Amino acid sequence: MSAKHIPVLAETLLQWISIGKDAVFVDCTLGHGGHAYLISKKLSSSGMIIGFDVDQKSLDYSADVLAGAECRVALVKSNFCRVKDNLHRLGQAKADLIFADLGFSSGQVEDPDRGMSFQNNMPLDMRLNEDIEITAADIVNTAPEEELADIIYQYGEERASRKIARLICQRRQHQKITSTGQLASLTARVVRTGGKQHPATRTFQALRIAVNDELGVLEKLLQDAPEILKPGGQVAVISFHSLEDRIVKQNFKENKQAGIYEIVTKKPLTASEGEVRENPRSRSAKLRIAKRV
């Protein structure tokens, strides 16, 4: 496993989950395989890891990471909203542990082909999957002002959303907004953060969520999870912003009230001071776990 890649809340996850040697572990967001690698150490040849990712580069990387695993490994290029269908296709309809890490690696954010970073000037794209037809530039240059403001407010929780949308619409009348640098400089004209974060952070988050339908995909996974899990199986989700965390919290609560789940983590688990020092991106991570009754 690459020394540069540090899986978030990995030790915390291992402490709180219950997984046998012959378990089926479904990693919905395989990434660089950090969490899957650690889980593989707990599985025998009877166990299985099924990993999903929309990024072929991540799948190839993880294939190398998991090459020496004793357990069976199946890696699938697919969005995790289709986990249930893909498991049926693999002949493995049930799982002991479903896991999703909703964060992004620095490699993904900094990849010039993805157009996600406001730190570098690159084409304004933001698609995680090349099969998605609409880019962030399409939204920025064609969405009505009110719709654009709603996207930035609802998905970015940006209080200056209407000012940003108005400025974008004024600019695009004269010049298309095609790069991350253009958008970042526009938002910086109206957003004041006091230096705590970049002025474009929330706007970029909002557009990325909209382009990739991230919240809809998460809701579909959580909807399917009870059907996928074996009795006693667990679902564990690491979220990085309040929108995701609220969706996970509400889903677990509703399933508990319906007698489907027991909530394992009464409050979300967060990174220790030591982990935050070693891996700053873990600062905003929250882990919630529920158990299938």
Residues annotated within the binding site for S-adenosyl-L-methionine are 33-35, 53, 80, 101, 108
Q: Which helix (H) or strand (E) holds 49?
A: strand 48-53
Place of tokens 């166990």: 47
d(CA 9, CA 286): 8
Place of tokens 């990325």: 208
From the annotation, which residues make up the binding site?
33-35, 53, 80, 101, 108
d(CA 200, CA 124): 13
Phi, psi of 179 (to 5 degrees): -125, 155
- Whether the CB-CB separation of 177 and 171 falls below 8 Å is answered with yes
> Could you tell me which residues are beta bridge partners of residue 234?
97, 291
Alpha-carbon torsion, ordered 104, 41, 57, 107, to 10 deg:
30
